[in-house]
Amino acid sequence: MKTILEVNQLSVFHQESAHCLLKDIHFSLTKGQVLALVGASGSGKSLLAQSIFQLLPENLRQKGDVLYSGRQVNEQDRGTNIVLIPQSVAALDPLMKVGKQIEGLIQAGNPHQMMLDLLARLGLDADIATRYPFQLSGGQARRVLAMIALGSPANVVIADEPTPGLDQEAKNEMIALLKQVKQAGKAILLITHDFDVALQLADQVAVLEQGSIVEVADVEHFSGEGEKLTHPFTKALWQSLPQNLFKI
């Protein structure tokens, strides 16, 4: 299947100190594929999302290639070919009604009707469209963020920590929504520290340690005591999970 997003030898440095935060990152995604990027807090997961969107802070620089359909990603790709489901629901425009925000991303057919269809598809009442973000519950707001990804024409979705702070019911809802995104044929880079979420959604898992991807493994390899995993850090991470009796 044709590669839709490719990251080659991507590194991120501090401008002045040249201290390396991400080193030689490489992975690729095809349509309908989910790659989960897991690692400890501070390992560089969200920084990678900023790099793909070319939205790094001014004190950082990057080198390497980020390719969409074989060409370098540019500003026009953001929100059109590549869309972000951000960590915070604060990413919704507080001054615009929810329906208008969703319609603004739908570029074909009847945007208003498609927006209503998406609301129904995600189990949300039509009157949600008339509300402002502050009038939504946390679960409703997260579903709206996922709906924006579904309604967008983008072929690539980057979901940056979509489940932290959610109770189990809300987490299950978000997993179900992301499965719908996958079933719609979109490629997903799932950035998460939650192995349970990664294993339910991903085809492969990339493990990030101190700014480097140390292993990319099929999701089926995360079983038992991790006998099929190759890197010591990946094995230690897997064996330290609660369901694996916190082995170290």
Question: Which DSSP symbol is given to 87?
Answer: S
Percent of the chain with pLDDT over 70: 96
Residue 247: per-residue pLDDT: 55
Residue 15: per-residue pLDDT: 87
Q: Just give the CATH number of 3-244.
A: 3.40.50.300
Q: In angstroms, rounded to a whole number, what is the distance separating the alpha carbons of residues 90 and 42?
A: 22
Residue 246 clears pLDDT 70, i.e. is over it:
no
Which residue in the block uniquely carries the two structure tokens 């983008």?
154
**Identity at 145, one-letter amino acid code:** L
Residue 108 clears pLDDT 70, i.e. is over it:
no
**Identity at 81, one-letter amino acid code:** N
Residue 84 clears pLDDT 80, i.e. is over it:
yes
Lowest pLDDT segment from 67-81, 88-102, 162-176: 162-176
Q: Is 132 helix (H, G, I), strand (E, B) or coil?
A: coil
pTM: 0.85
Lowest pLDDT segment from 6-10, 135-139, 146-150: 146-150
Residue 41: per-residue pLDDT: 75
| pLDDT, tens digit, 9 for 90 and up, residues 182-216 | 998 999 999 998 888 999 999 999 999 989 999 99
Q: Does residue 149 or residue 248 have the better pLDDT?
A: 149
Q: Contact, 28 vs 34, CB < 8 A?
A: no
Residue 2: per-residue pLDDT: 86
Contacts of 30 (CB under 8 A, 6+ apart): 1, 2, 3, 4, 187
Q: In angstroms, rounded to a whole number, what is the distance separating the alpha carbons of residues 91 and 85?
A: 9
Show me where the domains of the chain are located. 3-244
Contacts of 109 (CB under 8 A, 6+ apart): none
**Identity at 199, one-letter amino acid code:** L
